[in-house]
Amino acid sequence: MPKLNVEQIRKDFPILSREVKPNVPLVYLDSTATAQKPLSVIEAMNSYYRLSNANIHRGVHTLAEEATALYENARDRIAKFINAKSSKEIIYTRNATEAINLVAYSWGRANIKQGDVIVLTEMEHHSNLVPWQMLAAEKNAKIEIIPVTDDGELDLTVYESILKLSPKIICVTQMSNVLGTINPIQQMAAKAHAVGAMMMVDGAQSVPHFAVDVQTLGADFLAFSAHKMCGPTGIGILWSRQQVLEAMPPFLGGGDMIKRVYLREFKANDLPHKFEAGTPAIAEAIGFGAAVDYLTAVGMDFIHDYEREIIAYAIERLEEVPGIKIYGPKAERKGGIAAFSFGGVHPHDVAQILDSDGVAVRAGHHCAMPLHDRFKLPATTRASFYLYNTKSEVDKLIEGLYKVKKMFG
């Protein structure tokens, strides 16, 4: 079996050979925020603008045909990437956030009534909290929370008792963008479905890092963003089953989402166009297609195995540094993310000093304020890893942390 060849992979990403300042190469440990892009993605978008740029659908000229084919072919490949039954189940959105908002507006406003229970978790990204809080406030619905244990896992005993309240929807991330926790979606979905609840899964961190198959996942809705999986910003996906999407009212109104418009009413278009109003992000969709091609060619299982190796090494080395406390489950139970505190040193200072050696990490609450409240932290420093990171980059991180220690110790 060919293992992942990281040196070869690094050559595919032009940005990885840049220096942050003279003689200081980039060590990019912030892929959880956004991943770098391989040349094939950049070239696919470039080539669309150089050769095929036209608005899609309805045009009959050559460029419009080409652009439409490129845009729709990308959708087909994304459908295949998550094993959707049909491309009709793949709705292009701006990002994972918009995909979740689409569900909260369209499905939510049609199905949530006063007093209904919406279940969220303490480890959600703000994008899987706020749209539901807005819906709950509007409908006078109740929010129940699955808490996070000290080990950084969902407290499934509390989940069991919440299910007795007959909730309407469970909104949960497949992988935490802070703790790296990979949640047991299949098991949670089976229980949710047994009480008639829908399952909204935030796949922003899972879909980029391991194979996600919607036929076995158990989700009713899955949201993810291209930019976290080697694709461009400005495009994401909402997946749901055709039957569910057909029953949902349209979201944004305008061109492309209609079959027929009269002066006082309209007929909505068929899936997936019903949810895609206006001129979409065409180049970005094409870039997204190239990104899933790239990840498929490398192999999602290889990527996952490789990241497990890197995170195990990173955690082992981080634990050597006195004063570091890593949040979340043990290495073997999580994805390639290490969020940590460092004694009394503020994450901003940690990140700033690391930056002077070219090491890019993130400092802050990572759009998960309630989770930081849970651990009584204003912020953490987060290093995250992807297919192009190496163990020697982990070593650079550790060297930088010793420098921080020296400066602030």
Position among 26, 195, 244, 367 found at the interface with ligand PLP (CB under 6 A): 367
Q: Which among ligand PLP, another protein, none contacts residue 204 (Cβ within 5 to 8 A by kind)?
A: ligand PLP
Binding flags for ligand PLP, 191-230, as an x/- string (CB under 6 A): -----------x-xx-------------------x-----
- Give whichever of 68 and 341 is closer to another protein, judged by the CB atom: 341
CB 392, min distance to ligand PLP, A:
26
Q: Which letter, b or e, does each residue of 245-267 get, where b requires 16 or more Cβ atoms within 10 Å of its Cβ?
A: beebebbeeeebbbeeeeeeeee
379: partner contacted, choices ligand PLP, another protein, none (Cβ within 5-8 A by kind) = another protein
Nearer to ligand PLP, 52 or 225 (CB): 225
Q: Which of 4, 27, 96, 314 binds ligand PLP (CB under 6 A)?
A: 96
Bridge pairing between strands 337-342 and 380-384: antiparallel
323 interacts with, out of another protein, ligand PLP, none, CB within 5 to 8 A per kind: none
Q: What is the total residue count of the chain? A: 409
Report the C-alpha dihedral over residues 328, 331, 333, 336, rounded to 10 degrees: 80
Report the residue from 304, 355, 360, 390 that binds another protein according to the rule CB under 8 A.
Answer: 355
Question: CB-wise, 330 or 348, nearer to another protein?
Answer: 348
Q: Which does 367 bind (CB under 5 to 8 A by kind): another protein, ligand PLP, none?
A: ligand PLP
Amino acid at 215: Q
Instruction: Name which of residues 357 to 396 contact another protein (CB under 8 A).
Output: 363-365, 372, 377-379
Q: Which of 26, 33, 195, 367 is catalytic?
A: 367
Cβ proximity to another protein: between 93 and 341 the closer is: 341
- For position 69 contacting another protein by CB under 8 A, the verdict is no
As to burial, measured by CB atoms within 10 angstroms (0-12 exposed, 13-18 middle, 19+ buried), residue 333 is: middle
Q: Is 171 a catalytic residue?
A: no
Total residues binding ligand PLP (CB under 6 A): 14
Single out the segment in contact with ligand PLP by CB under 6 A; choices: 16-24, 84-92, 120-128, 161-169.
Answer: 120-128
Q: Report the nearest approach of another protein to the CB of residue 370 (Å).
A: 13
Q: How far is the CB of 364 from another protein (least distance, A)?
A: 6
Examine residue 384 and tell whether it contacts ligand PLP (CB under 6 A).
no
b (16+ CB within 10 A) / e for 200-226: bbbbbbbbbbbbbebeebbbbbbbbbb
- 216 touches, from ligand PLP, another protein, none (C-beta below 5 to 8 Å by class): none
Residue ranges in contact with ligand PLP by CB under 6 A: 95-97, 125, 127-128, 173, 177, 202, 204-205, 225, 236, 367
| Catalytically annotated residues | 367
Binding site for another protein (CB under 8 A): 346-349, 352-353, 355-356, 363-365, 372, 377-379, 407-408
